[in-house]
Structure 1
Amino acid sequence: MEQREAIVAVLRREDRVLIIRRGPLATRSGYWAPLSGRLEPGETQAEALVREVHEEVGLRVAPLAKVWESQTDDGRYRLHWWTARIDPGELVLDPGEVSEARWVTVAEYLALEPIFAGDREFFERVLPGI
């Protein structure tokens, strides 16, 4: 099985990160996670980051840096974790993809259920060093 490529958006405001509860049309609906999405054919990671954030929560972002790489628990996707600068604007959730959005601290995120093991590793081990 060929591994597909996806991005994960690490969007921060001070000590908080934007996370979503995956909506009814999303894979693994109900999970809490940072915004993420598949790369389209011919799209760069940075382009996918900008597109996915805008589609899912209506924010405009400028990619800053790739900060980590992991894979999904089922091995189907290689995840490229990117930080981005957020332009001023209000959250406008895509109701199929996102049922809720929150700005959370690391401790608040780690207390939520369900979350992905790879996301837990990022919040515990990688994010504090960024």
Structure 2
Amino acid sequence: MAQVRLGVVAVVLKPGSSQASFLVIRRSQTVRSPGKFCFPGGSIEAGESEEEAVVREFWEELGARITPQRRLWQSLTITNVRLAWWLVEMLPDQAITPNPLEVESYRWLTSDEALALPDLLASNRDFYAAWWQGDFHLPAER
């Protein structure tokens, strides 16, 4: 059996939106799963906590600072990556500057809009399904 790798995912909700909108990135052509849509995130480095990893990955991908709020969920991908999904907070007036080596673009999307993307990573589809099944709750759910 292949070794399990560890990763983190940043779940960012757009402040002040009437319907939950999530920050979704499109991965650049130079990283694993090129051109796919997903939440920001990546691998946990040796000696790094989940919180440290999610902050670092977000900074590397989008050039913005975040504060981890709480771990929402955990999943195992089909490629044997154990993902820790973290609700994080970003200042609303903070600029997002995608690193072109990692992120082609970003969007704020509702779950329905994200799920309509044919290139959405399967792990993100699993996240939305778990949310709808009540495996975890998001702030100010409607």
> What range describes the TM-score normalised by the shorter chain of this pair?
over 0.9
Determine the structure 1 residue equivalent to 2:87.
Answer: 83
Q: Distance in 1 between matches of 2:128 and 2:116?
A: 11
Residue in 2 that maps onto 1:11: 12
Please state whether the residue corresponding to 2:74 is helix, strand or coil. Answer: strand
Superposition RMSD in Å: 1.4
Provide TM-score, normalisation by structure 1. Answer: 0.93
Q: Secondary structure at the match of 2:13?
A: strand
TM-fit CA distance, 1:25: 1.3
Q: How many residues align?
A: 129
2:110 counterpart residue number: 105
* Matched residue SS, 2:112: helix
Equivalent position SS for 2:124 = helix
- Which residue identity is paired with 1:4? R
Return 5+ residue gaps in structure 1 as ranges.
none
Say if 1:68 and 1:126, in contact at 8 Å, map to a contact too. no
- Equivalent residue for 1:58? 63
One-letter code aligned to 1:9? A
Q: Distance in 2 between matches of 1:80 and 1:17?
A: 17
Query: Max radius of gyration: which structure?
Result: 2
TM-score by length of 2: 0.85
**Identity over aligned residues, as a percent?**
33
Q: Where do 4+ consecutive residues of structure 1 move more than 4 Å? A: none
Bigger proportion of residues as strand: 1
| Alignment match of 1:42 (pick from 34, 42, 47) | 47
- How far did residue 73 of structure 1 move? 1.6
- 1:52-97 CA distances to partner (integer Å, 9 max, x unpaired)? 101100110010000010112222x100000011123111001011
Letter in 1 for 2:12: L
- The alpha carbon displacement at 1:2 in A equals 1.7
The alignment partner of 1:20 has SS state of strand
- Once residues 57 and 103 of structure 1 are traced to their aligned partners in structure 2, the CA distance between those partners, rounded to angstroms, is 14
Query: How far has the Cα of 1:36 moved from its partner?
Result: 1.3
Preserved CA contact (<8 Å) 1:11 1:17: yes
